[in-house]
Amino acid sequence: MVCSTKKNSIVHLSVDGDILGTYLVNMKYPYNICVSKNCNRLAVYNGAAGTPKLQLYLISPAIS
């Protein structure tokens, strides 16, 4: 997963670099992401001047 600062989203990539999905976040300029040790939470921090945010998301397994 990587941050797309200009599109205010998180991009999920495969090992080969293929885009698996994009996820909009409720903040401007997401900058840092971190996944918890048990892989069920995602923390996102932004680089917006004057209004920094830290948001926590639950990660649920995909249903296929």
- Ordered by start, the domain boundaries in the chain are 2-58
Could you read off the pLDDT of 41-62 as tens digits, one per residue? 999 999 878 888 999 999 887 7
Q: In the structure encoding, which two tokens stand for residue 49, read together? A: 């001047």
Could you read off the pLDDT of 18-36 as tens digits, one per residue? 999 999 999 999 999 999 9
Per-residue pLDDT at 64 exceeds 80 = no
Q: What pLDDT was estimated at residue 61? A: 76
Q: What pLDDT was estimated at residue 56? A: 94
